[in-house]
A and B are shown apart, each in its own frame.
Chain A
Amino acid sequence: MSTDKLIVAGQTFNSRLIIGTGKYKDYAQNAAALEASGADMVTVAVRRVNISKPDEPMLMDFIDPKKFTYLPNTAGCFTGEDAVRTLRLAKEAGGWNLVKLEVLSDPKHLYPDMEETLRAAELLIKDGFDVMVYCSDDPVFARKLEDLGCAAIMPLGAPIGSGLGIQNPVNIRLIVEQTKVPVIVDAGVGTASDATVAMELGCDGVLMNTAIAEAKDPIQMARAMKHAVIAGREAYLAGRMPRKKYADPSSPLAGLI
């Protein structure tokens, strides 16, 4: 397994689990969950500094950007231009080229606006970014995003923050089969088995935030997710047994007394 690494845009990651940094009680709990998860990449948001409180704790004080790869997102952007502006600022703040593009639509379901996502992806790629893109679980759009040059295709498993698990395994599998860049299920995971299912479908990684942050014990759940992703990956590589309609005894029938 040591040679089985996640590689995105030429960067190698030890873990196939990527975690978010939102919704935690505080940054200290977030940092502890990150350690427990074994992840080496975290998504982060770009927001205005509260200049009336310059001493407020900052994410970078708790999660060292030299130790963990920051993946700036475009949450809150509704157009390609907003996304480019946000990520240019992120690049200036930290120097990262690898970014997470998400262009959302209706707050009720937070589905990606795929028309605008495609446009934004094109703008960002032209601007030199390596784009990991949050997208619907539609193989047709996934193909279009890959053809544009996205660095990773990140279909949702279920709506963001819903914890409903992989709702359309058929589509996820179709996307995995057709895609040459990494496929990472982003959003919808609720518990460890959901992450395992994603990995068993052949995904290259799983990105989650709420499943860990809103668990009763986020640190223990982070550890569970670490194992779930490894288990799913190993099961996928091992190749599962065929499903059978009837029982097949494990103990030989020959030699019965």
Chain B
Amino acid sequence: MFLVINGEDHHDLPDPLTVAGLIAHLGLPEKKIAIERNREIVPKSTFSTAALSEGDRLEIIHFIGGG
């Protein structure tokens, strides 16, 4: 599957894929991040059921130091 993650193209991702599947694939800590798909927030409670579609645009964010 093809996705745009944080502004970058990612080809050859597993298909089908849920949000939880993608997080596991990328090795990210689920509790410390938030995800937006096509500018809509994906609630954490739906990570395991939210199925991704070809060409989805994802933003994966976390907190960093700031003033």
Chain A's closest residue to B39 (CB) is: A85
The segment from A47-55, A118-126, A176-184, A248-256 found at the interface with B is A47-55
Q: Name B15-44 residues within 8 Å CB distance of A.
A: 26-29, 32-36, 39, 41, 43-44
Count chain A residues whose beta carbon lies closer than 8 angstroms to a beta carbon of B: 36
Categorize the interface residue count of chain B: 20 to 34
CB B66 to nearest CB in A, in angstroms, measures 3
Q: Are B65 and A20 in contact (CB under 8 A)?
A: yes
Q: Chain A 38-78, CB within 8 Å of chain B: the 1/0 string?
A: 00000111111101001100111000000000101101000
Per a CB cutoff under 8 Å, which of A48, A59, A72, A90 touches B59?
Answer: A48
Distance A55 CA – B27 CA, assembled complex (angstroms) = 8
Per a CB cutoff under 8 Å, which of A48, A60, A160 touches B67?
Answer: A160
Q: Are A51 and B65 in contact (CB under 8 A)?
A: no
Distance A209 CA – B64 CA, assembled complex (angstroms) = 14
Chain A's closest residue to B8 (CB) is: A51
Contact of B53 with A by CB under 8 A: no
Contact of A144 with B by CB under 8 A: no
Q: Are B32 and A75 in contact (CB under 8 A)?
A: no
Distance A47 CA – B33 CA, assembled complex (angstroms) = 10
Q: 15 A-B contacts, Cβ less than 8 Å apart?
A: A20-B65, A21-B64, A22-B66, A48-B59, A48-B60, A48-B61, A49-B33, A51-B5, A54-B26, A54-B27, A89-B34, A92-B43, A92-B44, A93-B63, A160-B67
A contact set with B: CB distance below 8 Å: 20-24, 27, 30, 43-49, 51, 54-55, 58-60, 70, 72-73, 75, 85, 88-90, 92-94, 160-161, 187, 209-210
